[in-house]
Structures are given as structure tokens and as C-alpha cells.
Structure 1
């Protein structure tokens, strides 16, 4: 499939978005003028672009050899591509961030075969985005229904145990439920821009204790002569990628044992989508010592990987969380998604946000067991989200002094 056909489905109306928003920055919830409810088309999402997915595959990061065999689903009308789904036939459950290893172990103890399974996602990327991708100029609902049915059919043809659509948009999650997919929820921690003109404007919404704590953390993070730099577009050189990859390997090896992304991946995205990339880099004594990679959507900054070769108090918070907020305010972005897990983000202004996944389980017995489990899990996630939201750092009332 051509990159143009893929992107026409993955990010329909991107040209209109860019025209309306004057490039990255003043995004709307929908990505299109006049779509205040966000129902017509999703905002521009860099992860489902042909450039990103192609880089993941061409770099050897997501391939059959690494357990990610591409099985992308395509819907056509009169020979013309109308919709696509990024889908992989997988031999393991690594790099997904929605955990089903317990399901796999239980099924295999009972004599079943859980792998291969089909995974509808962006490899190694726990960020919500569209999964049933439909181009402009077609019956959107009809094509989405066809793609959902196609996933069930592909499960049978592939002799897979299941289909897992992870980090989907809520509307897709509901649609897939009508096709026999079980509904699962989890939560991440996201920051929301209330129209702030500066970081100080954001700080003014916090209670005194958290405001003082953040100011101290930001000051201490830079106390050793560290400077922070934003690199995007042509400013991201191969030297910068070399430095960042060293950070990624250092931190990734300690956390996961084997980092998922190859060095070539970073060069490829540098060549094809550098305007969608923000590297926040820390420098000390003339060399790069730490950094975080972010991706820029039409209304959201997506924080992804972080790493460091020197360790300084609070530098992780500065590079990953506070600089992301600064950048979002500067660019007029509405949200910052700072990746998976991390209740420590709450004290820094990132609040709980529900994420959605949908799971088609072919075996009726396994399906019943998982369905029962997910009902209880959804209730737990909802209650935990309510409790965590109460821990937020924001001032509770107008009478509390700023």
C-alpha cells in the first residue's frame, strides 16, 4: 500500500488541520474546524502515520523475527483503499503495556494455545489513538463496522487465539463491543492545558505545598550547571540521535533487559517526520547527559522514552514532565500524555485518565472467564481513578490562597 493511501486513512483531513491550526499548535479536540464534539475525525496522531509505522518495521524493531509479524487489515471499495487497521500477528506479549500474560498462562495450563494472537496497536507505544482508520469521502460508520468484522475473520484465518485492540479511542471501544470484543479499561496520567499563558499560570492553580515543591524540584534539577534544550525538525542531528540512543539503551537495559527500538529507527523518523518529534535534552560540561523523546500531535504532546548517563536529583521530572508542560503551553497544545504508569505524576499536575482496550477471545470457555475478570477489573479501575483524582495538587476552592 502506498504511504499516501495509508495516511489518507490514518490521519484524514490532516491538510485541513494544519491549515486551521497553522501547523502544530492551536489544536482542537477533533482536529477539524466545526467538529466541536470530536465525533467526525480524530486529531492528527503521529503514531499511526505511515512514517512512524514504517520506521518501526523497516528498522527491525517490529518484525516477524522480533515477534511482530505485520498483518495489517485493509478495506477497499471498488479497488480503492477505504480503511486500514495496524495489526500484528504476535508470538509473545511484550511491548504492549496492556497485560495479558496471566490469561496466556492460565489458558496454556488448561491445554490451550494462546499464541499466536493478533495485536492491533502501535508497537511499543502506550498512547491512545485511532485504530480503525477510515479515509475521507466514504461511509465512515460502514467501513468501521467492516473493519471490526474483518478483525474477527482475520483471527480465524490466522489461527490466532484472540484479537487485542489496545489504547483505542472510546468510540471504537464501544463499536467493537458490538462485535463480540470484551471491554477493558486502565488508566494513565495526563496533563490538561487550561489555556495557560506560562508555567507560572499553571503553578497558580496548585495548592501552596505542591507549588513550592515543584519550584524546588525545577531549581534543584539544574543545580549542577545543567541546561535544557528543545530539539525538533532540522535541529535533531545524527549526533543528537547518537546521544539519545545511548540514554535509551542505558535506561532501557536496566528497566526491561532489552530495549525494543533499534538505532536505525531513530534515524528513520529523523528523516521522515522530524517536525513531529521533540527531543528534550539535558547538557552538562559540554556534553549531552540525559534526554526524553516526545511526539507532537495536533493537540497533544506524547511523551515516550527517557534515558540518562548521569543521574541528578529531579532531572527526570524536569526533562519528562515540566519541560513537556512548558512546551505544550508554548505551542498551545491541549494535552500532555506522559506514557504508562506512574502515580508520582499526580503531584506534578498529571491526573488519572481512563484508557480503553477491546479483546476478542475465540475460545468460549476462556472468553467467559476473562469476561468475568474484566467486569471486576473495570469497577476497580473506576474506583481507583476517583480516589487518585482526589489526590491532585490543585487548589480545592477559590478561598484557598494562590
Structure 2
């Protein structure tokens, strides 16, 4: 029997209650939970003034909520980490507007995740063609240029590709817990050269009299968050010339509503805090998200953002660790290249076809890059 779905767009997450949202998102990662997206919106890190207009799509069958899609109209492409600036420039050269556009994403979060959250038993094969049609109708009615699905699962990406929402591959690096019982088991899986190099990196941090501490829910205080935010701003200012996409109120809200999902790594020297890294986690995956330092300490970034995370995953039997996007330096520290996926539909047929040809050419280079990165991994030949 054919299922008919109805769709409703919401201009704020406050237009749906947290219980209804989380009932659909219960199997998703922390970034899809109501509290995370609410923190983004209520802190005004995500709002019209920052170029993000919430348009979350709720999906109904027989008047019952069965699905949610986090959507935003965008006036720019910053904070997405799937790069389409060249496409926007081409539109402008032809006198067309690329912005506003519509995207499915978790703002400022380049972490692959469900995106299309569905109630158990919902027939995705019947839903997708109706969903794509509803999105394309919304784009036409609101004079948007395109639809972009960012960091979606491979199976959803493949399905969307059959509905003309074109697949685009990219590469990230992820650490896999191969049933390690202790950190030394991970080290034993490395070649002797890389094992020695990693030990040297960690020793140099200790030799500079830096001490590390992992702080969790019951011991986490507002003062911890205050110092972390100073580090976050300092590092963004140094690297990018601005103080970061996320404001202090966002992290305050995260502290109050999601503290059970937070791990904060704090670095001290001479009893003074000098650096901090904030992770989110659940029982399946650790997510390295934000980092900052008040001093430049050799190798401290690797210690706070990689090795502390690896140790934690082994101790807690967490299967995977996503340390954040980009960074070939992750390879030699045991992070393996994986494909991540986005999908794209452009309303203007000529540009849609041009992007399709571009993606076909780009894909060969992406596949080659992943293969070359795999060959650089530091594991012994017997590593699976």
C-alpha cells in the first residue's frame, strides 16, 4: 500500500516540543538531539543575522510525526565544510543568485550523521521521492537556488543520487577501536617507527611539565567552560581573524543541557590552565569538536585532541573517534581515511548539469587521494 506523507516547515526548533523531536532522534548522535540544536538557536549562534535561517522539515503520516530533517536557508557558505564557493562565483559571473540556498546540516558540525531522522518502520523508499519533490517545490516557491545535504550516511546519499540529488564524496579521518584492551595494544599495532614517534611526541609534552586531566559531568563547572571558551576564541582569532562561530551562551547552554555528553580535556603547567579541548560522546562514538590554547606548547594539540581521545575510547570501549575535519597529519597518528558524503540539487538545469560533470571529474581525484592516504597508515602489515 502506498504511503502518503505530509510536510511542514518550521522556522524555529521551538515550534516543536523536545519530547516529540527526541522520540524521532533517539537513535541519532548528540548533534541531532533537541538540546544541541536548541542551544545553537537560542544562543543566536544560528539566526538570520549570522546567515542561518532555520527551516526544519517535519514529516507526517496519517497525522503522526514520523520524521525530521534539520534544514536551513543560507545567505553564505561559511560553517558548512563542504565547499561550494566556486559554484557561487560561477552563478555570479552569469548574473544569477546562488544565495539564498537550502541546506540539510548541523551548523558548524562536519560530522557524518543521520540527518534524515525517521520513526522506526517508516518506508524510506516511499518517502524519498515525495520528500525530494516537497523540497524542490519549496525551493521554487521561495526562489532559492539549490538544495544541499551535508555529511549524510552513504546509504542515504546513494538513494538521493537516484532522485537527481547528486552524490559528492570527500575524505575525513577516523580512528577505529579494534578491540584494544589497553592503550599499549594500540601502540603495538603500529610500526616500530611510528610507535616511537608517537611516544616521543607525548614525552615532549610531559617534559614541558604539562599535566592533562579529563573532566566529565559531575566535575564540570562553569569555570571550566569559561576557560575553555577563552581558549576557543584565542585560537580562532589567531587562525581566522575572528572569535569563532559559536558564542559563550551556546557553550553555557550545552553545559546545562548536555553535560553528560561532554568530555573536557584541560592542560595545566605550573598549576595554571593553558589549553583545553571539548569533546562530545555517546556510547558508540567520540567526537573531537573544539580546541584552543593560551600558550604555544610543542605537540600539545596532538595530546589534547588525539591521544587523550584514543585513550578514552579504549578505556570506555567506544568504537570510533571522529577528531574533526581535514588534516593529513592525523594519518600517521592512526586515523584512517574514510569517505563522507554530500548531495546536491540545483534548480537551474544548465548549472545542475555543469555541477554533475564537475563532480564526476572531482570524484576520481577524491578516490585517488583516499587510496594514497591509506597507503600512509602507520599500522603493521598484519593490521586488518
Residue 234 (structure 1) shift? 2.6
Aligned residue in 1 for 2:20: 5
The 2-side partners of 1:265 and 1:146 are apart by 35
Q: Deviations over 1:126-181 (max 9, x none)?
A: 10001111123543443454433332222222211011101000111011112211
Aligned residue in 2 for 1:283: 268
1:67-216 matches, cutoff 5 A: 67-216=51-200
- Kept in 2, the 8 Å contact 1:325–1:336? The answer is yes
- Please point out which of 202, 213, 237 is paired with 1:229: 213
- Kept in 2, the 8 Å contact 1:84–1:147? The answer is no
- Please point out which of 302, 312, 322 is paired with 1:337: 322
Aligned-pair Cα RMSD in Å: 1.3
- TM-score w.r.t. length of structure 2: 0.93
The 1-side partners of 2:274 and 2:182 are apart by 27
1:375-386 matches, cutoff 5 A: 375-386=360-371
- Kept in 2, the 8 Å contact 1:190–1:350? The answer is yes
- Kept in 2, the 8 Å contact 1:8–1:136? The answer is no
- Is 1:298 equivalent to 2:313 in the alignment? no
- Cα 1:216–1:379 change in 2 (3 A) is same
The 1-side partners of 2:52 and 2:320 are apart by 30
- Kept in 1, the 8 Å contact 2:182–2:314? The answer is yes
Q: Deviations over 1:214-262 (max 9, x none)?
A: 0010111122221111112132211000000000000011222221000
Residue 317 (structure 1) shift? 0.2
- Kept in 2, the 8 Å contact 1:222–1:315? The answer is no
Q: Deviations over 1:310-334 (max 9, x none)?
A: 1111000000000010011111111
Per the alignment, in what secondary structure is the counterpart of residue 65 of structure 1? helix
Q: Number of residues paired by the alignment? A: 367
- Kept in 1, the 8 Å contact 2:128–2:160? The answer is no
The 1-side partners of 2:357 and 2:225 are apart by 46
- Please point out which of 203, 206, 209 is paired with 1:219: 203
Which stretches of structure 1, 4 residues or longer, exceed 4 Å deviation after superposition?
none
The 2-side partners of 1:316 and 1:152 are apart by 43
The 2-side partners of 1:53 and 1:341 are apart by 24
The 1-side partners of 2:172 and 2:256 are apart by 30
- Is 1:241 equivalent to 2:225 in the alignment? yes
Residue 71 (structure 1) shift? 0.5
Residue 397 (structure 1) shift? 4.3
The 2-side partners of 1:243 and 1:78 are apart by 49
- Please point out which of 331, 334, 349 is paired with 1:364: 349
Residue 79 (structure 1) shift? 2.6
- Kept in 2, the 8 Å contact 1:83–1:147? The answer is no
Aligned residue in 1 for 2:302: 317
Per the alignment, in what secondary structure is the counterpart of residue 135 of structure 2? helix
The 1-side partners of 2:380 and 2:355 are apart by 40
Residue 11 (structure 1) shift? 2.5
- In structure 1, stretches of 5+ residues that fail to align are 13-43
The 2-side partners of 1:198 and 1:272 are apart by 32
Q: Deviations over 1:249-301 (max 9, x none)?
A: 00011222221000000110111111111111111222221111111033110
Per the alignment, in what secondary structure is the counterpart of residue 381 of structure 1? helix
The 1-side partners of 2:164 and 2:123 are apart by 22
- TM-score w.r.t. length of structure 1: 0.89
- Kept in 2, the 8 Å contact 1:73–1:147? The answer is no
The 2-side partners of 1:9 and 1:142 are apart by 18
Q: Deviations over 1:99-144 (max 9, x none)?
A: 0000000111111100000111000001000111112354344345
Per the alignment, in what secondary structure is the counterpart of residue 382 of structure 1? helix
- Kept in 1, the 8 Å contact 2:337–2:374? The answer is yes
